[in-house]
Chain A
Amino acid sequence: ETGVTQSPTHLIKTRGQQVTLRCSSQSGHNTVSWYQQALGQGPQFIFQYYREEENGRGNFPPRFSGLQFPNYSSELNVNALELDDSALYLCASSEKDSNYGYTFGSGTRLTVV
């Protein structure tokens, strides 16, 4: 049973550019969530996908968007990057309505310069 894998592990982008981060969910998990973690803070919920549709969203602007594919993998897209978007982006998968916790990946460290 594989865990959650994210790619790339590190990324440097310039302000104003666009970025796509990828996540492969754990085998058997059909729900994917994305979190942003700024340095020294707890993760903040961005959104969740279930059956290829957004299933909840946190307090993030529309330039943060996502996709979920039929194999339950997912992408996080961020347009018009700002310096404050520099953070660790975490993907977490779970089974819908499962009684157990989420499985997190190790994250993608995004630096916007």
Chain B
Amino acid sequence: DAKTTQPTSMDCAEGRAANLPCNHSTISGNEYVYWYRQIHSQGPQYIIHGLKNNETNEMASLIITEDRKSSTLILPHATLRDTAVYYCIVRVDNAGNMLTFGGGTRLMVKP
């Protein structure tokens, strides 16, 4: 699986959009971009995934650049409960494959 690079930490004001970047310059054509988050004392939670088109669900939006070398997870209206570590993972879309977690981005949403 391709390696990802994320900022170690970010702050966001409550109610504002949180934009979390991820670089994956060595991504292969058959690798998807997945985002998970881990709230303190809980297991990771699946957020969203995509291949090359932008995706949106009830939790977030995923914007993938045209060359697929980077992506951005957008939480449109961050709340205090969105404070968590966010992991960007790229992998072949096969549930038989493991998830390779990096260090993630620690997002702190402040009032």
Give chain A's interface residues, CB within 8 Å of chain B: 4, 31, 33, 35, 41-45, 48, 50, 55-56, 58, 90, 92, 94-107
Residues in B whose Cβ lies below 8 Å from that of A105: 43
The answer to the question of B30 belonging to the interface, with a C-beta cut-off of 8 Å to chain A, is: no
Selected from B49, B97, B100, B103, the residue in CB contact (under 8 A) with A56 is: B97
B44: chain A residues within 8 A (beta carbon)? 43, 90, 92, 102, 104
9 tightest Cβ-Cβ pairs between the two chains A and B: A101-B46, A104-B43, A42-B101, A45-B98, A98-B95, A94-B95, A43-B101, A104-B44, A90-B43
Task: Name B residues whose Cβ lies closer than 8 Å to a Cβ of A.
Answer: 34, 36, 41-47, 49, 85, 87, 93-104
Contact, CB under 8 Å: A96 / B43: no
Given contacts A90-B44, A100-B46, A106-B41, whether A44 and B96 have CB atoms under 8 Å apart is no
Q: Is A31's CB under 8 angstroms from B96's CB?
A: yes
Inter-subunit contact A45/B100 (CB<8 Å): yes
| Set A33, A98, A100, A101: member contacting B36, Cβ < 8 A | A101
| Shortest Cβ distance from residue B92 to the other chain A in the assembled complex, whole angstroms | 11
- Check B97 against A42 for contact (C-beta < 8 Å): no
**A107 pairs with B43, CB closer than 8 A:** yes
